[in-house]
């Protein structure tokens, strides 16, 4: 008996250390390219293994002002445009995805499994959806509306899955009955009781959907024709036509944007939680 106990203790101790080691190595492996890219954006040269010539803001100036080889416009206009497009897609996902996730988690109805399957699986790859838009809606495809609709269709599964997970962790029937017994109508119950309790999933789904929509390249490349380019096209132009250090600055801009949006959405969600408390 003591031998088995000792065996289990050793297994638990070394197993925990092994998992920790694997996690640390994985995070290090993923973080090194991001850190090196960000650091190199402040270098003037890169010969050999590490960048040299620190610290310069020339690469950032080329990208932000739009004077770089691959920058036909400034990053500010492209960021603002892509931010609006991605936010438009997120709004559509919230309006459509949250009710779908609620219905699938709350009710039993014919075709429920099929609705769930189609809601959490992407309808089509970005390239296929882009070609379909060009063929079906040739006039619409040249506007930003096509990008917003395409982003929402491509990223809807991430919103539905995140929100559905939050709904499934709650006793929706009991929450509804309690609110209705206090005189609340169903719309008020849904908007002021159920949705706020699913804020974790909604915020997570919004962050994922916005991030992926802002970086969506395949659909943007097929549909975009003229005017201010989406961020993915802007980054593509810088990465393919400019020097590596300019490309590093362009990618670093996107990293910072994602970090700021993620922090902002988390702060908004936490403030909402504190106010309700």
pLDDT in tens, 180-214: 888 878 888 888 888 888 888 888 888 888 888 88
Query: Which is higher by pLDDT, 130 or 92?
Result: 92
Answer whether residue 11 shows pLDDT above 70.
no
pLDDT in tens, 56-98: 887 787 777 665 544 455 666 777 788 888 889 899 999 988 9
Alpha helix ranges (H) inside the chain: 2-40, 58-61, 75-106, 112-120, 126-136, 144-168, 172-181, 186-189, 195-197, 199-214, 218-223, 231-241, 244-276
CA distance 50 to 44: 12
Question: What would the DSSP string read from start to end of 203-217?
Answer: HHHHHHHHHHHHT--
pLDDT of residue 91: 92
Q: Tell me the CATH architecture of domain 71-241.
A: Orthogonal Bundle (1.10)
Whether pTM > 0.75 for this model: the answer is no
Query: Which is higher by pLDDT, 37 or 122?
Result: 37
Phi first, then psi, for residue 69 (nearest 5°) are: -60, -40
Q: What are the boundaries of each domain within the chain? A: 71-241
Percent of the chain with pLDDT over 90: 1
Identify the band that residue 127 occupies on the pLDDT scale cut at 50, 70 and 90. Answer: confident
> In the chain, what's the furthest Cα-to-Cα distance?
77
């Amino acid at each position: 008996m003591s031998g088995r106990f000792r065996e289990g203790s050793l297994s638990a101790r070394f197993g925990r250390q092994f998992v920790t080691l694997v996690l640390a190595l994985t995070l290090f492996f993923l973080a090194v390219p991001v850190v090196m890219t960000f650091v190199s954006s402040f270098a003037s040269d890169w010969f050999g293994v590490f960048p040299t010539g620190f610290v310069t803001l020339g690469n950032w100036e080329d990208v932000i002002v739009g004077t770089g080889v691959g920058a036909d416009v400034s990053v500010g206009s492209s960021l603002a445009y892509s931010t609006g497009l991605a936010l438009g897609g997120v709004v559509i996902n919230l309006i459509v995805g949250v009710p779908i996730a609620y219905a699938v988690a709350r009710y039993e109805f014919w075709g429920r499994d099929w609705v769930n399957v189609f809601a959490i699986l992407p309808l089509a790859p970005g390239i296929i959806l882009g070609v379909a838009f060009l063929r079906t809606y040739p006039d619409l495809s040249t506007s930003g509306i096509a990008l917003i609709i395409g982003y929402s269709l491509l990223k809807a599964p991430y919103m539905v899955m995140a929100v559905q997970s939050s709904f499934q962790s709650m006793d929706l029937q009991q929450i509804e009955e309690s609110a209705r017994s206090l005189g609340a109508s169903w719309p008020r119950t849904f908007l002021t009781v159920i949705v706020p309790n699913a804020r974790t999933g909604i915020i997570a789904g919004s962050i994922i959907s916005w991030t992926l929509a802002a970086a969506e390249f395949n659909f943007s490349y097929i549909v975009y024709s003229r005017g201010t380019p989406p961020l993915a096209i802007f980054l593509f132009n810088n990465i393919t036509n400019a020097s590596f250090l300019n490309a590093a600055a362009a990618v670093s801009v996107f990293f910072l944007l994602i970090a700021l949006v993620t922090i902002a959405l988390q702060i908004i969600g936490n403030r909402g939680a504190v106010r309700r408390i």
